[in-house]
Amino acid sequence: MRNTLTLLKRESMISEVKIQSQIFQWHWNNYPEERGLLCYNLNNSANKIQGNQNKALGLIKGRSDMVYYYNGTAVMIELKNATGKQSKEQIQWEATIKKAGFQYIVMRSLQDFIDFKANVKVLLKNKKDS
């Protein structure tokens, strides 16, 4: 029991930045033909001035952390650690994206992305058929 609790505590402590980095690097190394199709969205500004500039350029609060472009569509990927929760703005963004016909997925680990990639053809075919 103690080892399980220790493992869960460690997993919840992994930052979303670390998860994003693991996903990007794994995809880059394992799918060289898809380089450029998994992209980071710059959601966090360094300071208030840059934040205002980014808003003027179209930065939307709550936007997903990454976008994966695949076979004529795009999948929005929100990253959370084991205990992370979506903000109100992220939940609104998810609803907007789904209403527009795109897929939105919350991932909590590199393994979530690996599983997604293993099933992406089926997941997106089912989405297009619905």
For the stretch 6-64, pLDDT in tens is: 444 555 568 999 999 999 999 999 999 999 999 998 777 788 898 888 889 888 889 99
Per the structure block, which two tokens stand in for 2? 């103690």
Domains belonging to the chain, first-starting first, are 2-129 (3.40.1350.10)
Amino acid at 58: G
CA distance 116 to 10: 23
Query: What does pLDDT average to over the chain?
Result: 87
Strand 73-79 with 103-107, pairing: parallel
User: For the CA atoms of the chain, what is the radius of gyration?
Assistant: 16
Candidate from 34-38, 39-43, 71-75, 112-116 with smallest mean pLDDT = 39-43
φ, ψ dihedrals at 81, nearest 5°: -75, -175
Strand 66-70 with 38-40, pairing: antiparallel
